[in-house]
């Protein structure tokens, strides 16, 4: 079946460090891929997406590239801030039913 695997957290970094959160997927067909972010005490917010191979999604300094050959959609940011502390979820969506399949989430902690 379809599934998403994320690196386990928490990931702890210092402010201005480079961030990578790994996400790989298993899917039959060609899913759309998403990153959502959940700040403490809040609901999930769409961060970025990519709908086909080699697409790059970007938002708020975060980027992720849809790599079909490695079935990956790793999230990156060049210089993190304390305000980026949150839980990040990777998800895939098969366009046959538009349902989202979620990774377990990765908690990111940024220290000043």
Partner 1 sequence: DAGITQSPRHKVTETGTPVTLRCHQTENHRYMYWYRQDPGHGLRLIHYSYGVKDTDKGEVSDGYSVSRSKTEDFLLTLESATSSQTSVYFCAIRASGGGDEQYFGPGTRLTVT
Footprint of partner 1 (CB under 8 A): 4, 32, 34, 36, 42-46, 49, 51, 89, 91, 98-100, 102-105
Rounded to a whole number of angstroms, the minimum distance from the CB of residue 15 to partner 1 is 26
Rounded to a whole number of angstroms, the minimum distance from the CB of residue 14 to partner 1 is 25
Rounded to a whole number of angstroms, the minimum distance from the CB of residue 38 to partner 1 is 9
**∠45-47-49 over CA atoms, to 5°?**
120
Using an 8 Å Cβ cutoff, are 16 and 62 in contact? no
Q: Is the dihedral of CA 71, 44, 55, 51 positive or negative?
A: positive
């Amino acid at each position: 079946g379809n599934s998403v695997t994320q690196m386990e957290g928490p990931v702890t970094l210092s402010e201005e460090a480079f961030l990578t959160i790994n996400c790989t997927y298993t899917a039959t067909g060609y899913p759309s891929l998403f990153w959502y972010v959940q700040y403490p005490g809040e609901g999930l917010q769409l961060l970025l997406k990519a709908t086909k191979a080699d697409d790059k999604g970007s938002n708020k300094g975060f980027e992720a590239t849809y790599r079909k050959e490695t079935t990956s959609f790793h999230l990156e940011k060049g210089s993190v801030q304390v305000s980026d502390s949150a839980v990040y979820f990777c998800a895939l969506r098969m366009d046959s039913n538009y349902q989202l399949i979620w990774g377990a989430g990765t908690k990111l902690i940024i220290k000043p």
